[in-house]
Amino acid sequence: MSLESQRELPVKLGSILPERHYARKNLGYLEAMARGARIIIETDDDNFPRESFWEERALRHIVPLVQHGGWTNVYRYFTDSVIWPRGFPLEHLQGAVPELDRIKHGEVCCPIQQGLADDNPDVDAIYRLTRELPQSFDKETKVALGNGSWTPFNSQNTTWFKEAFPLLYIPSFCSFRMCDIWRSFIAQRICWANGWGVLFHGPTVYQERNEHNLLRDFTDEVPGYLHNARVCELLAGLEIEGGTESLAGGLRSCYRTFIELGLVGADELPLLDAWLYDVGSLVG
């Protein structure tokens, strides 16, 4: 969509969303909703789909559900390599993860599903500056994270079912390298209130990463290194009501927490309100 066509969209967000920002993806989500999408699969321009990417998605899966696991480095379920997803608190890297063969399998409703990426996966600048790539992951593993378990997920190979469409919102007034990561923490907290799991599954894409300045990436990631663990501690303590009619209230509560910490600007709230109005008018 050209910038001109984005400005002409009949949505409130279109006229106030900052330009030259990754959060412009929000308008793509709204356009997909306007065209009647019931599932939105997002990716980035340096990810390349494998055949499995095109397979039909299911909302419910019979998988191990990790609950009350605290910080859970989900990458450890897919490889024996020392690797972690971008946004994972460094102070929790040495923590153990629950063993899958000891976790009860059950049917889990997963309206958000994160697929991994082979070759050049989404890791932070510290990893890229100190460790080697490429990296590949097990293609058969599936695991869901539920109430009391945290791990960051990104916007590079992610499936969203209609139930979770309001949670797609990417913030504008924050660190570029944290915008989708902080979205993932907010989405996970609201999923807990609804009894939903976030599914993680094997890679269906590989990445040939666009050129990056790693020191600039590192600088943009510093707010996450310093605050992600504390942020999620505060999110966990919020009173979030379940039910799709309460998603908007949950989002506002979570973003107020980020604003109070000074990690997201107060100018975010008018954008969020416009987003919620637009989603409500398009999805109901």
Nearest to 282 by CA among 28, 44, 43: 28
Contact assessment for residue 125 and residue 161, using Cβ atoms and an 8 Å cutoff: no
Q: How many CB atoms lie within 10 A of CB 202?
A: 17
pLDDT tens digit sequence for 227-273? 999 999 999 999 999 999 999 999 999 999 999 999 999 999 999 99
> How far is CA 261 from each of CA 39, 168, 254, 283, rounded to the nearest angstrom?
33, 22, 11, 32
Is residue 138's pLDDT more than 90?
Answer: yes
* Domain enclosing residue 157, as ranges: 3-283
Helix (H, G, I), strand (E, B) or coil at 18: coil
Can you give the pTM of this predicted structure? 0.97
pLDDT tens digit sequence for 169-214? 999 999 999 999 999 999 999 999 999 999 999 999 999 998 999 9
The number of folded domains in the chain is 1
Q: Is the alpha carbon torsion for 112, 116, 120, 123 positive or negative?
A: positive
Contact assessment for residue 82 and residue 131, using Cβ atoms and an 8 Å cutoff: yes
Quick one: pLDDT band at residue 164, thresholds 50, 70, 90?
Answer: very high
